[in-house]
A = this chain, B = another copy of it.
Amino acid sequence: MTGRRPKNGLREVAQLAGVSLATASRALSQPDRVSENVRKRIEEVCRQIDYVPNHTARGLSLKRSQMLGLIVPTTSNPLFAPTIDGVRMVLDEHGYNMVIDSAERDHVRELEMVRNLVAHGVDAIVTIMPTHLPELFDFVRKMNVPLVSAHHFSPGKSVPTVGYDNVAAITEMTDHILSLGHHRIAIFSGPGHTTPVIAERLEVIQARLAAAGLPPRPDWVIECDYEVAQMRRAARALIAPDDRPTAIICTGDQHAVSTLVEAQLLGLPVPEKLSVTGCNDVAIAELCNPQLTTQRLPYLELGQAACRLALDMLAGRDVPERTLLPHRMIIRGSTAAPTKGLSS
């Protein structure tokens, strides 16, 4: 503290150690290219003055930032938390940082975010948006920035994609209900217009039921937002009448649990008089009574795989266009064969 410090970062270190800037830089990034003696002296100085390297400058020079950009549809839906966590786990192993943006379920905004991330110099991008603007593909190709799409296989994606088999998962669940002998089946779904994944499930279930020869019941196809009061109201409307379904297939666990709660309040035993299925296997699927039959979807693994792929692309390795991750049906206590005499 005797005089004013140059405060030029590495320049100061170099000066204090009595070497040139270049040597100081090498001592830190390629320790074996400098003499033992000098290296130790520089390390000592770094400790002394508590030197903090400037990754911005480093990034400018090296043209890489050690940062990966992650775009999520929304930060408020806890469903994506495991995916974010998966990305973070892999990033941690590689000393990478994560900058995260929310596209607010909007394609146009997604493209903005991608431009923004590229402007900020991220080395690669993972996006969990289910579908993308075509311009997005042009942009990343032109900018030559690795981008991988995680979550949903939709036609026309021209970037590496990792996902699970949404159609198979919900088909399997529908077949489970059908094979139990149910004929009076309702669908309780999240809003399809904001979420292609949900729209797809809804569509697949309906098609499957029709294929099984069940007459369509439009009043048994409910779309409802994730707000608790709304879900419970809708669930009640579905199961309160005497003319009620014997099974309800939900596109998400929240809707299923809401249904369970309302059934309980109405004194309708599950699964004896009503079977209910969920999807996603979030924590609440086990925190209800009975526990939920649901599909465990690989959200954590989605994040991990997508992140690995992105880093692979960055390293110049070839990556597959599609990576399919397995789902698994978890049959718990909320489904059973319909009571005789009610099912037909």
Q: In the complex, what residue of chain B is closest to A75 when comparing beta carbons?
A: B85
Check if B60 sits within 8 Å of A57, measured CB to CB. yes
Copies of this chain, tallied across the complex = 2
**CB-CB < 8 A to A289: which residues of B?**
261, 264-265
For residue A191, CB closer than 8 A to chain B, the reply is no
Check if B121 sits within 8 Å of A54, measured CB to CB. yes
* Cα–Cα, bound, A188→B79 (Å): 27
Q: Which of A288-314 contact B (CB under 8 A)?
A: 288-289
For residue A172, CB closer than 8 A to chain B, the reply is no
For residue A199, CB closer than 8 A to chain B, the reply is no
For residue A156, CB closer than 8 A to chain B, the reply is no
The stretch that binds B, out of A16-24, A35-43, A97-105, A334-342, is A97-105
Cβ contacts A267-292/B at 8 Å (1 or 0 each): 00000000000000001101111000
For residue A186, CB closer than 8 A to chain B, the reply is no
For residue A53, CB closer than 8 A to chain B, the reply is yes
* Cα–Cα, bound, A261→B284 (Å): 11
Contacts A52-B119, A121-B54 given; does A254 touch B228 at CB 8 Å: no
For residue A50, CB closer than 8 A to chain B, the reply is yes
**CB-CB < 8 A to A97: which residues of B?**
99, 101, 116, 120
Check if B78 sits within 8 Å of A85, measured CB to CB. no
**CB-CB < 8 A to A327: which residues of B?**
none
What's the nearest-Cβ distance from chain B to residue A325, in Å?
19
What's the nearest-Cβ distance from chain B to residue A179, in Å?
28
Check if B75 sits within 8 Å of A102, measured CB to CB. no
**CB-CB < 8 A to A261: which residues of B?**
287-289
**CB-CB < 8 A to A98: which residues of B?**
99-101
* Cα–Cα, bound, A180→B62 (Å): 66
Q: How many chain A residues touch B (Cβ–Cβ < 8 Å)?
A: 50
Q: In the complex, what residue of chain B is closest to A64 when comparing beta carbons?
A: B56
Check if B121 sits within 8 Å of A56, measured CB to CB. yes
For residue A251, CB closer than 8 A to chain B, the reply is no
**CB-CB < 8 A to A88: which residues of B?**
75, 100, 102
Q: In the complex, what residue of chain B is closest to A86 when comparing beta carbons?
A: B75
**CB-CB < 8 A to A54: which residues of B?**
60, 119, 121
**CB-CB < 8 A to A76: which residues of B?**
81-82, 85
Q: Which of A111-143 contact B (CB under 8 A)?
A: 115-116, 118-121, 139, 142-143
**CB-CB < 8 A to A287: which residues of B?**
228, 254, 257-258, 261, 284, 288
For residue A31, CB closer than 8 A to chain B, the reply is no
Check if B120 sits within 8 Å of A67, measured CB to CB. yes
For residue A174, CB closer than 8 A to chain B, the reply is no
For residue A84, CB closer than 8 A to chain B, the reply is yes
Q: In the complex, what residue of chain B is closest to A104 when comparing beta carbons?
A: B92
Closest 3 CB pairs of A and B: A56-B121, A78-B78, A228-B286
A residues with a Cβ closer than 8 A to B are 50, 52-57, 59-60, 65-67, 75-76, 78, 81-82, 84-85, 88, 92, 97-102, 115-116, 118-121, 139, 142-143, 228-229, 254, 257-258, 261, 264-265, 283-284, 286-289
Given contacts A228-B283, A264-B289, A283-B284, 11 further A-B contacts (CB under 8 A): A50-B139, A52-B119, A56-B60, A60-B60, A75-B84, A75-B85, A81-B81, A92-B102, A97-B120, A261-B289, A264-B264
